[in-house]
Structure 1
Amino acid sequence: MRVKRQKKNRRTVRFFTVCFGFRQPYKVLCDGTFVHHLVTNEITPADTAISDLLGGPVKLFTTRCVLAELQKLGNDFSESLEAAQMLSTATCEHEETKTATECLSEVIGNKNSEHFFLGTQDAEFRKKLQQESIVPLVFGLRNILLIDQPSEFQRQTANSSEKKRLNMTEREKKMLEKQTARILASNKEEGTSEYEQWETPRVVSTRNGLGVMDRPQFKRKRAKGPNPLSCMKKKKESSSEKARSISKTETKSSAEKEKKEGTPKRRRKRSKKGKSGPEKTD
């Protein structure tokens, strides 16, 4: 169960980082109830526990209105007040002190431009923020820290922001219209029509000054040599075979030389010993 819970928390953090641009180190804005919960359940050090939850380095913040509210609560919240004073304070623009919920809602706003995570134990305040603003909410359950899943309002705003990124804005449309007007004006001066500019590009010559063809030239596939791995290796000749081949080449060369010099061929003389002439009669 612990692994599934950790995966779910990391998935929600990834949703806010991808869709709304939350970056490390994550800034966590804490109210008095959240600080008191950390102190009573001894979730210390708080920054390491929250960094393990979010999967990255963390900076903890609070406001002066939250500190003033903790002071009014008395001695029961003295330890939580000391812990809250150790955190860095985020600037709230209002001059007079307000309640913690009003102060935090003004600091975060609807768009949450500072990309704050909010740590609070107030369930009603969490529901209100999920329906109005883009803020990931961190809360504690005994000695465990959790993150609220993104609401329908937050998912719809993420989808609408993606559609805006895909479509052109009015400023981009005006810039495109100006650029097209300039191109058309320059084409009219050169004498080219609108159809030639946008549909069929003009080709003046098949070759440019460097002698390179404008159109791509495709090479025909030609037959290649045999695969050397599939061919049989030549047998090595022995010394006797080498001598025979040398003698054959020598005889051929001598015969060719005789032909070139024009020497007559030797004729074989036949002996007439076996032949007897006609016998003489007395």
Structure 2
Amino acid sequence: MRSSFEPTVGTHLAEVTDLFDFAESRPHRPEVATGERQRYRTIWISDVHLGTRGCNADLLIDFLDHVDSRTMYLVGDIIDGWQLKKRFFWPAAHNDVIWRLMKRARRGTKMVYIPGNHDEMFRQFAGLDFGGIQIRRKAIHETADGRRLLVLHGDEFDAITLSHRWLAHVGDAAYNLLMALNRWVSAIRRRFGMPYWSLSKHAKAKVKNAVAFISRFEEIVAEAAGARGVDGVVCGHIHTAEIREIAGVDYYNDGDWVEGCTALVEHFDGRMEIIHWADEIAKREAPAATPALAA
């Protein structure tokens, strides 16, 4: 295994396969030995943005240590190549996320990786399989209740990303400034024992133009999915988890692991649900906190 991973170099097959050798090594943070993991038929996660300070790798590691599924989709922007080209940032926790994903594939989980715009360097390998992980531009998932869902990242429908790439990078820089402020607020909340809360997510929900953009994006994606004859669509990209029906099409967005820390899951009967992992951790820790409060 290489001593460090250099995601900015993505044009050689041998270097990409090195990424999947993590399953043969030991993680910096060992897996938590939990009793009964939460089991789902399918899990979707996206917009992890490994390689950035905004990535909530600790929460994602906790999530991966407490859930399991037959199939898992990585719906783009798992690694942030845009930021890594500007400044290399890759702490041990980010290696541990990769290790857990690789280990999951080795244990028999069907893993499908659909690169997004931030990890587009892996799109050139679409159609190939590495270490048990299938790399695809898009996929069709059939739910337990027989519905066909189109799975894609979603940047294909973002006019700013497609038509004005320079503007997308400017917006990305502004977003990273907001995320820096978000980390500062989170650090203060942790210091006072308060649960995770996203300033950036709250701000985005309050800004009228952002709300209008999100709504229009959802409508365009659902319309495109309907035109392709599927029952629904699963995407990421806009960091806004959502389940809604639009013009007879089931629209699902799995959110992100920068602001909301969410995943989309399919239960074994086909029912779909968004999991807010910070809330799950709060529920898990609540019984332990009760005796202390009573004392």
Structures share fold, TM-score greater than 0.5: no
Q: Which has the higher contact order (CA 8 A, sep 6+)?
A: 2
Length-normalised TM-score, structure 1:
0.26
Length-normalised TM-score, structure 2:
0.25
More strand by percentage: 2
